[in-house]
């Protein structure tokens, strides 16, 4: 063993300590995944070397046969995994093995509940990689040297997974990484060729480079032990290059876990080979769970990019639009050059063609999931629905397809679940209905009980209830679906078209004319607080509501802009009153202008509260209400 220098003991990052403790105590039911995770990391290291060696052939150091080797020692109770990939420097080892540098770490830790069963699912969302070694080992040693640096700059990392690790510099002749697992006393089963072979075949058959185990050789008495021979135990061919008929569901699922660093199976996948003007293969997956950084639009994302089966880039974001950032998988092109960079990708017309085709492929995959497995699609929508709602603004060419995949709560479904498709809504539409009606708000309870829905309940017309913060912004990009326009029931002067009879319309005109005097009094009393006062055709039970002008921002958009520090344009609501309500009838006969003004403002403030808005002057509202209560009690 080489002499070690610059030896020091360092502490793990706090998150690593928590993750180690969790894995050791939560993943005991599936211990064998440690080998899958370590092989996956080794495969990535070899991919990175292969790519860097394209421009720096010296990095191969004369050893171009890239492979992973797994060996074991029953007596010493060790399992060793070795790759001749890119390797690590001392700084790399401290960074990659001592900290978790993945975005979403804080959210991950915040979500840990202490319930081992639940937390093991969270680990699957976060990905475990190297730390899974501690599920079966009470000590892990890593010997590594980065390709291209002198043999004297090898690194030795060691830890018992108890809060700290040792790191030292040592001589290492070969590039790459060797990991030695000192198995726990109860985990001796893994120091066995048959067991290791089965695990590799089960989880890592898809890895596109040889994974080798020692060949068992019988010793001949009196002769020197023969030189160790190795045999490849996996297919060692890129899974996406194989015909679909030759790939099992289990192989597709394991490959997903490799590319996504996920524990759980994907919801769906699409494997396709394109030939002709463009030639490329793609294998795209819809995950079963959302990652923690899903809503961080600047977080790393994208597909693994290969060019003629040579790994080029880990997160190539140019092949899918941003609203599909949850999609995992690989794309392998025959038409791109091996020295392609992110900057070149952004300007290459070939990429635009591939992006358009891959985007349609994902939408087709989601349509198929929604049609054939609606319960599965419900789960997809809960995880990724808000991200899909970014689609109509970003992807005008596929707006109709995306709209068909959207799901909403509605007055037809009780409970607030977003399960109603626009096609279902239209299939239930009333005869003569040529619009899709919707209402936005902060919570389901607020919109479900909104006075704006009263006339729709009376006439049995379904209304979509939109409560995500993104919904009002979404609807500004969705003008119609299947030829039917969208109408915000809280905006402008409500026109139900053919759903209102000629008698209804005539009666409304007569009432409006009859109440012209009351309208003028209310305009004077409310003054600058409103842009207009009018008789309402929306109300059956409530005395008054506030409507939004056709061109004005709704409450959701105002709140989003205010929260981001942007200036919000001034706008005033339209005050609508229900002439048939007893309070309005009393208001109409009120002789005292002071009392009339107080009652008008109380009705205005109550309508604002019902719309989910906050009062501009709560103290004035309380003062007027108390004054009214005192008068009533006298």
* CATH code, domain with 550: 1.20.120.790
pLDDT of residue 1 exceeding 60: no
We report the CATH number of the domain holding residue 53 as 3.30.565.10
- Alpha-carbon gap, residue 135 to 146, rounded angstroms: 27
- Domain of residue 486, CATH code: 3.40.50.11260
Average pLDDT of the residues in 581-609:
90
Same structural domain, 474 and 512: no
Our separate counts of H helices and E strands in the chain read 22, 22
pLDDT tens digits along 472-522? 889 989 989 999 999 999 887 777 767 766 777 787 788 878 888 898 999
Phi, psi of 139 (to 5 degrees): -150, 135
* 3-class DSSP state of 74: coil
Q: Is the same domain home to 48 and 192?
A: yes
Least confident range of 7-21, 140-154, 314-328, 593-607: 7-21
Question: Do 491 and 513 have their domain in common?
Answer: no
Last residue of a domain, one of 495, 529, 562: 495
pLDDT value of position 151: 95
* Cβ–Cβ under 8 Å, residues 211 and 39: yes
H-helix or E-strand containing 181?
A: strand 176-183
First vs last C-alpha separation in the chain? 99
Are residues 166 and 201 in contact, defined by beta-carbon separation less than 8 angstroms?
Answer: no
Long-range contacts of 158-163 (CB under 8 A, 24+ apart): 159/12, 159/97, 161/20, 161/24, 161/131, 161/134, 161/137, 163/11, 163/12, 163/17
Q: How high is the pLDDT of residue 101?
A: 43
Tokens standing for 581? 């309500």
Look up the domain containing 521 and give its range: 502-633
Closest by CA to 258, choosing from 127, 99, 380, is 127
The predicted pLDDT at position 289 comes to: 87
- Cα Rg of the chain, angstroms: 33
Do 162 and 104 share a structural domain?
yes
Closest CA to 142 of 234, 18, 45: 45
Containing 347, the helix (H) or strand (E) segment is helix 342-347
Domain assignment present for residue 244? The answer is: yes
- Among residues 380, 409, 424, the one where a domain terminates is 380
In 268-404, beta strands by DSSP E: 268-274, 280-286, 303-307, 310-316, 328-333
pLDDT band at 2 (very low <50, low <70, confident <90, very high): low
pLDDT band at 619 (very low <50, low <70, confident <90, very high): very high
Give the range among 5-14, 119-128, 287-296, 576-585 with minimum mean pLDDT: 119-128
Judgement on whether residues 372 and 472 belong to the same structural domain of the protein = no
Residue in this structure with the two tokens 């008068």, named with its chain if needed:
631
Residue 391 lies in a domain: no
Per the structure, how many domains does the chain have? Answer: 4
Cα gap 209→66, rounded to integer Å: 7
Residues 6 or more apart in contact with residue 574 via CB below 8 angstroms? 530, 531, 532, 533, 534, 546, 547, 548, 549
Domain assignment of residue 224, yes or no: no
E strands, 200-343, are 211-214, 230-232, 268-274, 280-286, 303-307, 310-316, 328-333
Residue 533 has which token pair? 């006062």
Residues 6+ apart with CB under 8 A from 170: 1, 2, 3, 4, 5, 143, 154, 155, 156
Tell me: pLDDT of 239 over 80: yes
- Indicate whether 227 belongs to any domain: no
| Cβ–Cβ < 8 Å for 93, 167 | yes
pLDDT, position 115: 57
| Full 3-state SS string of 79-109 | EEEEECCCCCCHHHHHHHHHCCCCCCHHHHH
Q: Which pLDDT score is estimated for 415?
A: 78
Residue with tokens 């921002």: 553
- Share above pLDDT 70 across residues of the chain, in percent, rounded to a whole number: 88
Residue 586 pLDDT > 80: yes
d(CA 208, CA 205) in angstroms, rounded, equals 8
Range name among 71-80, 181-190, 337-346, 542-551 with the lowest pLDDT average: 337-346
pLDDT at 299 over 90: no
The answer on 165 and 39 residing in a single domain is yes
| Contact between residue 474 and residue 388 where contact means Cβ atoms under 8 Å apart | no
Decide the pairing of beta strands 78-83 and 68-73.
antiparallel
**Is the pLDDT score of 76 beyond 90?**
yes
pLDDT value at 108 more than 90? no
Q: Rounded to whole angstroms, how far apart are CA atoms 214 and 69?
A: 8
The b-or-e profile of 213-228 (16+ CB within 10 A means b, else e) is beeeeeeeeeeeeeee
Whether residue 506 sits in one domain with residue 485: no
Share the mean pLDDT of the chain: 86
pTM (2 d.p.) = 0.76
User: Do 483 and 597 share a structural domain?
Assistant: no
CA distance 326 to 33: 23
Q: 536 exposed, middle or buried (CB, 10 Å; 0-12, 13-18, 19+)?
A: buried
The reported pLDDT for the residue numbered 381 is 95
Pairwise CA distance, residues 369 & 463, whole Å: 26
Q: Decide if 226 is inside a domain.
A: no
Residues 111 and 247 in one domain: no
Cβ contacts of 65-70, under 8 Å, gap ≥ 24: 66/209, 67/209, 67/210, 67/211, 67/212, 68/39, 68/42, 68/43, 68/207, 68/209, 68/210, 68/211, 68/212, 69/211, 69/212, 69/213, 69/230, 70/35, 70/39, 70/196, 70/200, 70/211, 70/212, 70/213
CB 279 within 8 A of CB 254: no
SS3 call for 457: helix
Over residues 372-390, mean pLDDT: 94
Query: Residue 110 — very low, low, confident or very high, per pLDDT cuts 50/70/90?
Result: low
In a domain, 577, yes or no: yes
Same domain, 277 and 174: no
Please tell me the distance from the alpha carbon of residue 79 to that of residue 341, in angstroms, as a whole number. Answer: 38
Report the distance separating Cα 504 and Cα 234, nearest Å.
Answer: 76
CA-wise closest residue to 547 among 585, 591, 490, 603 = 490
pLDDT at 114: 56
Helix 193-203 vs helix 33-55: crossing angle, to nearest 10: 70
Same domain, 257 and 203: no
The Cα 561–Cα 289 span in angstroms is 30
| Residue 331 within a domain | yes
Task: Please give the pLDDT value at position 566.
Answer: 73
- Chain mean position to CA 591: 60
Q: How far is CA 144 from CA 20, 82, 345, in A?
A: 22, 9, 33
CA atoms of 310 and 84, how far apart (whole Å): 16
- The answer to the question of residue 336 being in a domain is yes
413 and 460 belong to one structural domain: yes
């Amino acid at each position: 063993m080489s002499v070690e220098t610059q030896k020091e003991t360092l502490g793990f990052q706090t998150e690593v300590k928590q993750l180690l403790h969790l894995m050791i105590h939560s993943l005991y039911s599936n211990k064998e995944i440690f080998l899958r995770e370590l092989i996956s990391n080794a495969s990535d290291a070899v991919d990175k070397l292969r790519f860097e060696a394209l421009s720096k052939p010296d990095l191969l150091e004369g050893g171009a046969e890239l492979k992973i080797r797994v060996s074991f020692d029953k007596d010493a109770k060790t399992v060793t995994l070795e790759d001749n990939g890119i390797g690590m420097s001392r700084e790399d080892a401290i960074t990659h093995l001592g900290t978790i540098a993945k975005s979403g770490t804080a959210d991950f830790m915040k979500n840990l509940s202490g319930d081992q069963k639940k937390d093991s699912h969270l680990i699957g969302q976060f990905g475990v990689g190297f730390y899974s070694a501690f599920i079966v080992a009470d000590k892990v040693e890593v010997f590594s040297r980065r390709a291209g640096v002198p043999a004297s700059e090898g690194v030795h990392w060691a830890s018992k997974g108890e809060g700290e690790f040792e790191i030292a510099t040592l001589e290492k002749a070969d590039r790459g990484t060797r990991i030695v697992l000192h198995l726990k006393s109860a985990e001796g089963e893994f120091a066995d060729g048959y067991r290791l072979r089965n695990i590799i075949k089960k989880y890592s058959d898809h890895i596109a480079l040889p994974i080798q185990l020692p060949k068992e050789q019988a010793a001949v008495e009196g002769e020197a032990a023969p030189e160790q021979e190795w045999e490849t135990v996996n297919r060692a061919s890129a899974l996406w290059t194989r015909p679909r008929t030759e790939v099992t569901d289990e192989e597709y699922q394991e490959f997903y876990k490799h590319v996504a660093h996920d524990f759980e199976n994907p919801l769906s996948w699409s494997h396709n080979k394109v030939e002709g003007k463009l030639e490329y293969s793609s294998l795209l997956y819809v995950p079963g769970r959302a990652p923690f950084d899903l809503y961080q639009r600047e977080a790393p994302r994208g597909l693994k990019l290969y060019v003629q089966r040579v790994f080029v880039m880990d997160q190539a974001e140019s092949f899918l639009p941003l609203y599909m950032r949850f999609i995992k998988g690989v794309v392998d092109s025959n038409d791109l050059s091996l020295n392609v960079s992110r900057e070149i990708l952004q300007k290459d017309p070939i990429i635009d063609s591939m992006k358009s085709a891959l985007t349609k492929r994902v939408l087709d995959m989601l349509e198929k999931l929604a049609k054939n497995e609606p319960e599965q699609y419900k789960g997809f929508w809960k995880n990724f629905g808000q991200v899909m709602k970014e689609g109509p603004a970003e992807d005008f060419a596929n707006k109709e397809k995306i709209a068909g995949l959207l799901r909403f709560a509605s007055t037809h479904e009780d409970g607030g679940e977003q399960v109603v498709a626009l096609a279902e809504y239209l299939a239930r539409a009333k005869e003569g209905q040529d619009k899709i009606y919707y209402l936005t708000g902060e919570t389901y309870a607020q919109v479900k009980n909104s006075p704006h829905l009263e006339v729709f309940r009376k006439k049995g017309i379904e209304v979509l209830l939109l409560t995500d913060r993104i919904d009002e912004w979404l609807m500004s990009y969705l003008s119609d679906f299947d030829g039917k326009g969208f109408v915000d029931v809280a905006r402008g002067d409500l026109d139900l078209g053919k759903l209102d009879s000629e008698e209804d319309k005539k009666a409304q005109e007569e009432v409006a004319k009859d109440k012209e005097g009351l309208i003028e009094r209310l305009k004077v009393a409310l003054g600058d607080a409103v842009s207009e006062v009018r008789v309402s055709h929306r109300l059956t039970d409530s005395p008054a509501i506030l409507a939004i002008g056709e061109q004005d921002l709704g409450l959701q958009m105002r709140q989003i802009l205010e929260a981001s520090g942007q200036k919000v344009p001034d706008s005033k609501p339209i005050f609508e009153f229900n002439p048939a309500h007893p309070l309005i009838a009393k208001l109409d006969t009120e002789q005292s202008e002071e009392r009339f003004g107080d009652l008008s403002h109380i009705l205005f403030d109550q309508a604002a509260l019902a719309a989910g808005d906050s009062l501009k002057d709560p103290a004035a509202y309380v003062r007027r209400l108390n004054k009214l209560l005192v008068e009533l009690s006298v």
